[in-house]
Amino acid sequence: MKKVIQFSGFIFFAFLMTTYTGCKKDNEIPFNRIPDYKMATLTTTTISGITLTTAVAGGEVISDGGAEITVNGICLSTIHQRPTVADQEVDIGAGTGTFSGILTGLTPYTTYYVRAFAINKAGISYGNEVQFTTNNAVKATLTTLTLTSITLTNAVSGGNITDDGGAVITSRGVCWSINEEPTTEDAITSDGTGTGTFTSNLTDLEPGTTYFVRAYAVNSAGVTYGNQLSFTTGVEPGPIVFNPGLTYGSVSDIDGNIYNTIQIGTQVWMAENLKTTKYNDNTSIPYVTNNTEWMELTTGAYCWYNNNAATYKASYGALYNWYAVNTGKLCPDGWHVPSREEWMKLASYLGGVEDAGGKLKESGLTHWQGSNTGASNTTGFTALPGGLRDVSNDFGGFFIKINAIGAWWTSTPGIEPTDHPLWLDFNSGKFYFVPYWIYYNSGLSVRCLKD
């Protein structure tokens, strides 16, 4: 009888060991724990700060069960619910109270199951389960900034990133190529990270070459490109190409510069852009190079394109603001800046505005870019594309459109912008007056007309 009881006791002990070592469930007390300790009580807090690859998770240990909480943290899984520390575990701290930490290295657009956990001498306790889904990355939104400060080998552009697509912008800049739709496989700049406006300096360009430009931004969704722009670098100015079949006169200014002149109908015009640095009363015209200072001018001033007299003075002349024109002292004695009506008289003599521009433009591609549409220079006027200094909000005093356009002041006063300066374009033979964004402190070329 004693043997049977002992045998039965052994069987009963083995049964208990099997039950409590092989089938322990969450929050269940181990068979061999110290009886005075209890499992901790805790909750899992709602997930916050969810991004593509990160989130903030945590919990609150309400009771330590009478034993020190040696570790608390988060466990998570994408495969099944009720995750445990056997899945992915993130240790955060120890003790009771609230705790939180950042989950990193998550997969975008993925659902995660999460539980807080706490460990004391009684074992591992888990809080309630919560779930969340990481954001789905989309590409950034951006635009390409207009090209400025175009020289023979350099230009300035940039971009404006208005939306990061829900992910950090890790790289940004501009890319360019002689082919359309450039990518980051072509020439690029690297201009930092994050959203907002950035400036890009394009260097080592080829003179007289047309380039295509796009801003780019990189986030975890990939590379996004802004709108495409194009520009043409300047060319080393060669000698002005006058009409060899015509006879030119000459006139000099107070600086001693000598200009060819040409008679067209009853009018006698300078056949070159003005380049004087003095008014005809021998007082100096202020030379202003700083963009901000130029933008704020309310008195006469001049500059050279890109503040580079060595390259641009001889062929293109100077750029003047309208305050210099309005002094009435800019042209040599016996000459004046033409009014709108005098420009229109010239166009009328040439058969109207549709073809007059081509008859005024220097022929060939020595200075004009592209096809120089309609250019014949039959008048001998020899109009050159000296560009301008633009003071609109987009350009802020920068120099633009050398080799692409010529813009000449009228003397006609009016509400700003003035009564529309003459504008000739590389891709048109038309004669027209630009109807907008020319202001009193814009920098334009000047042609003088004999009194």
CA separation for the pair 411, 276 (Å, rounded): 17
Please state the rounded mean pLDDT for residues 96-107: 94
Within 258-308, residue ranges assigned H as helices are: 291-295
The answer to which of 253-257, 275-279, 408-412 has the lowest mean pLDDT is: 408-412
- Quick count: other Cβ atoms within 10 Å of Cβ 272? 28
Q: Domain 33-133 classified CATH 3.40.50.720?
A: no
Q: Domain 141-232 classified CATH 2.60.40.10?
A: yes
pTM higher than the cut 0.75: no
Label residue 22 by pLDDT band (50, 70, 90): very low
Please state the rounded mean pLDDT for residues 235-245: 87
Q: Between 138 and 254, where is the model more confident?
A: 254
pLDDT value, residue 433: 84
Label residue 138 by pLDDT band (50, 70, 90): confident
Please state the rounded mean pLDDT for residues 345-368: 94
CA separation for the pair 144, 35 (Å, rounded): 71
Q: Which tens digit of pLDDT belongs to each residue from 313-326?
A: 999 999 999 999 99
Domain residue ranges of the chain, discontinuous segments joined by +? 1-28, 33-133, 141-232, 249-450
Amino acid at 322: W
Query: What token pair was written down for 116?
Result: 């807080």
Same CATH topology for 33-133 and 141-232: the answer is yes
pLDDT value, residue 419: 58
- The continuous run of DSSP H or E covering 320 comes out as strand 319-320
Report residue 305: phi and psi, to 5°.
-55, 130
Q: Which tens digit of pLDDT belongs to each residue from 30-40?
A: 545 455 789 99
Q: How far, CA to CA in Å, does 56 sit from each of 87, 99, 349?
A: 18, 11, 77
Residue 2 predicted with pLDDT over 50: no
pLDDT value, residue 436: 65
How many residues are present in the chain? Answer: 451
Pick from 323, 447, 441: nearest CA to 386: 447
Amino acid at 176: W
Residue 248 predicted with pLDDT over 60: yes
- Average pLDDT over all residues of the chain: 88
